[in-house]
Chain A
Amino acid sequence: EPEVTQTPSHQVTQMGQEVILRCVPISNHLYFYWYRQILGQKVEFLVSFYNNEISEKSEIFDDQFSVERPDGSNFTLKIRSTKLEDSAMYFCASSLSGGEWDTQYFGPGTRLTVL
């Protein structure tokens, strides 16, 4: 069964450093998403991406964040200058379409630890 994959599973970085989290969405999907979950808190939407453009973003997704689909398979989330409060699980998801009738499938997540 096709699945969303994410690398690395765990990333440790120093405050102020740039990190890139990588995702390989399900191959025929067209919509891509990033969510995050701070330890003990709810899963929060960050951004959705379609046709090489951001289609929606949350207040969390400020200028420090960017997303890119550098090739036909990868979808990346970059944090330019990490802060302690960026420590969280980051989940990538994908869906075939963006409609509310269509299912988003999540990857296993990347645990980001900022020291």
Chain B
Amino acid sequence: QQPVQSPQAVILREGEDAVINCSSSKALYSVHWYRQKHGEAPVFLMILLKGGEQKGHEKISASFNEKKQQSSLYLTASQLSYSGTYFCGTSRGQGYNDMRFGAGTRLTVKP
């Protein structure tokens, strides 16, 4: 089952903050975050693992609430380069690589 992302779209001014949420009806082992710019392939941002381990982008932070089966991506002091569509992805569990992605959150940063 695909995770659910919110909001669907957000428009910011440079320097503003944004939070993108990702929730699942099933227990999560890991949550992946990717950003896709128009006409380009998705690019890895971060992985959050059950137990608290994180791997990824230094300037972007995220949280993973295992009990609530939710993850949030925090974009602070947004830059024009942050514009794109953000996807969260989840897999069945450890050892599985059947990534299901949410519908995406379109982020637009304006000057």
Is B one of A's binding partners?
no
